[in-house]
Amino acid sequence: MKSIFYTRFFILLPWILIVIIVIDIDTKRLSVRNTASFYLSRLGNVHGSNATSLPVIYAITPTYSRAVQKAELTRLANTFRQVPQFHWIVVEDSNSHTELVSRFLARSGLRYTHLNVFTPRRFKRTGMPRATEQRNLALGWLRGHRSVKDKGIVFFADDDNTYSLALFEEMRSTRRVSVWPVGLVGGRRYERPLVEKGKVVGWYTGWKADRPFAIDMAGFAVNLQVILSNPRALFKRRGAKPGMQESDFLKQITKVEDLEPKAKNCTQVLVWHTRTEKVNLGNEPKRQQDSVYIEV
Amino acid sequence: MKSIFYTRFFILLPWILIVIIVIDIDTKRLSVRNTASFYLSRLGNVHGSNATSLPVIYAITPTYSRAVQKAELTRLANTFRQVPQFHWIVVEDSNSHTELVSRFLARSGLRYTHLNVFTPRRFKRTGMPRATEQRNLALGWLRGHRSVKDKGIVFFADDDNTYSLALFEEMRSTRRVSVWPVGLVGGRRYERPLVEKGKVVGWYTGWKADRPFAIDMAGFAVNLQVILSNPRALFKRRGAKPGMQESDFLKQITKVEDLEPKAKNCTQVLVWHTRTEKVNLGNEPKRQQDSVYIEV
């Protein structure tokens, strides 16, 4: 009798232990995983299972060679590195990839696509819209490399603006075309879409108020599927007037009444149209005087 | 005979399973923990055991109210958030903490100290050194709140410069006073200390080459213990000439031959003296025209 009891006990005990251990692992592993994915989700490169289901933000950044270029790209990358599911499309105004930008991107820790197209000299005049060719090349790349299966948001991120991290979480839910205020633009503290009952009904702006979309390039995002289903929507050179690039582009893909207001019904400034001063190089020696070459 | 075999089998099997499970948990938990701490170490707020043994970087940032202030602080915070063991000392040029800066810091996710001191009006003239009172107040705070037990590095981080993350890892090993090149300063692409056999022997600069330390505020860091053991070392108003703030301060705590060159013997530019354009608010309406107040 006693021997049967012991046998049963020794058979049951380990099985009970196994059950306890398995339950214990599951809770612990879950909590470790949650902690990890919380921090992972704050980083751009690596994504937990939640992050990969987010639409990718494709930020299109035209850039050109100048004294402050690497500095500008450095602070942009410092911001973008904290945006989950981020893909940076950098388009140089040059005949080929420059070494500076290539090296910079390779070390940035960001997912990126590096493109280039040279702006014809006749378009490089004051009053002419800038970066048209670069933005269009990026749109062409998206149309050639992404399909209806891909979830994404397209945003035009000029290289001298200032972006808060909150901006990217606002734009991520864009269904077709979303809009929000932009700080320090048009000669005012900010410009913004005026919203009534969740719809855009006008524009608070100090400049060319009669534009169909009185909005800066930094003030809107477009769902990738809208870009793909309007394959001819592009930024225009022919007939384009200064400051009309945004309107010319947006009227090809949406209507004012369909715009989705973000940033608490367009009452928060989460992006600033900052401008960096042109650098004074008046004391730069005519000939190389330093003993080494230093990239700046 | 058969029955004994089965009994033994059923007793041994679960024990073997337990051993396998326990071994399995240990490996998995270890790898999850390693992955997590790798990413945690890239973030400023939370630190693994490695990060806490690093000296804290105290970045002293004087700031003043202007149109681009929040934009500048936003991109600074975006950079600093990725620096482990970081403590931001923000000193406003104001009679009290402004709401904008208080709110901004509280939401920044950074460890910070918020101070303020108003620059007397007689010192607010062109040609006068700027932010003297703010930097000195921060030095006073460090002397009052830190002791010989604290490991730290002190760095003067103006709010419009551009900082690469690599800069902070270079300065972290500062024993007394370290130096490195600064981009886009003094009318040149860069200024830098000239180094021979690991010692600073001169300065590559296009401006006031006869300064004892021909270096910008962004070009050096000081070990916290040097700040504490030289309690009277401060930035000077009396007798201070424009552009001499750095030299006046550094000669109180070090000698040129004792400087520690960083950034590959001062041949890499990891910080840029960028300047943000003053904002044109020419189209701002005289009276509040918008229906809501929006912070910019």
Q: DSSP for A55-111, please give it.
A: PEEEEEEEE--STTHHHHHHHHHHHHTTSSSEEEEEEESSSS--HHHHHHHHTS-SE
pLDDT value of residue B27: 47
Q: Which of A156-160, A286-290, B88-92 has the lowest mean pLDDT?
A: A286-290
Torsions phi, psi for B183 (to 5 deg)? -85, 155
Q: Which long-range contacts (CB under 8 A, 24 or more apart) does A119-123 make?
A: A119/A93, A123/A237
Q: Is the dihedral of CA A142, A143, A145, A148 positive or negative?
A: positive
Task: Return the structure tokens found at A251.
Answer: 């009227």
- Average pLDDT of chain A is 88
Residues flagged as binding site of B for UDP-alpha-D-glucuronate: 62-64, 93, 130, 135, 158-160, 273-275
Are A189 and B269 an interchain contact pair (Cβ–Cβ within 8 Å)?
Answer: no
Residue B33: pLDDT above 60?
Answer: no
**Chain B residue closest in CA terms to A263:** B294
pLDDT at A173: 98
Lowest-confidence region among A97-106, A265-274, B6-15, B282-291: B6-15
Distance (Å, whole) CA B117 – CA B97: 9
A93 carries a ligand binding annotation: yes
More confident residue, A148 or B287: A148
CA distances from A75 to A79, A88, A163, A186, B230 (A): 6, 14, 10, 24, 34
Chain centre to alpha carbon of residue A271? 12
pLDDT band for position A208 (50/70/90)?
confident
Q: What is the pLDDT of residue B209?
A: 87
Convert A44-77 to b/e letters by CB count within 10 Å (16 or more is b): beebbeebeebbbbbbbbbbbeebbbbbbbbbbb
- Degrees to nearest 5, angle at CA B153 with B152 and B156: 140
What local confidence, expressed as pLDDT, does residue B28 receive?
Answer: 44
Element (H, E) at B192: strand B188-196
CA angle A110, A35, B26 (to 5 degrees): 105
Dist. CA B95–CA B116, nearest whole Å:
7
Predicted local confidence at residue B147, as pLDDT:
98
A206 contacts in chain B (CB < 8 Å): 282-285
* Candidate list B72, B133, B191, B246, residue with the active-site label: B246
Average pLDDT over residues B38-63: 68
Tell me which residues of chain A, numbers 254 to 283, contact chain B at a CB-CB cutoff of 8 Å: 267-269, 272, 274-277, 279-283
Question: Which residues in chain B (189-248) have CB-CB distances under 8 A to chain A?
Answer: 189-190, 192, 204, 206-207
pLDDT of A19 reads 67
Lowest mean pLDDT among A34-43, A125-134, A162-171, A185-194: A34-43
What distance in Å separates the CA atoms of residue B139 and residue B154, rounded to the nearest whole number? Answer: 9
Q: Is the pLDDT assigned to residue A143 strictly greater than 60?
A: yes
pLDDT higher than 90, residue B128: no
Q: Minimum mean pLDDT among A110-114, B86-90, B179-183, B236-240: which range? A: B236-240
B133 is catalytic: no
Entry pTM: 0.83
C-alpha B63/C-alpha B101 separation (Å) is 9
Over range A81-106, report the average pLDDT: 98
Cα torsion through B76, B77, B82, B87, rounded to 10: 100
B206-265 pLDDT tens trace: 888 889 999 999 999 999 999 999 999 999 987 777 789 999 999 999 999 999 999 999
The candidate with the shortest Cα–Cα distance to B109, out of A242, A178, A165, A129, is: A165
Mean pLDDT check: name the lowest of A261-270, A273-282, B26-35.
B26-35
Residue A55 C-beta-side C-alpha neighbours within 13 Å:
26
Separation CA A268–CA A277 (nearest Å): 26
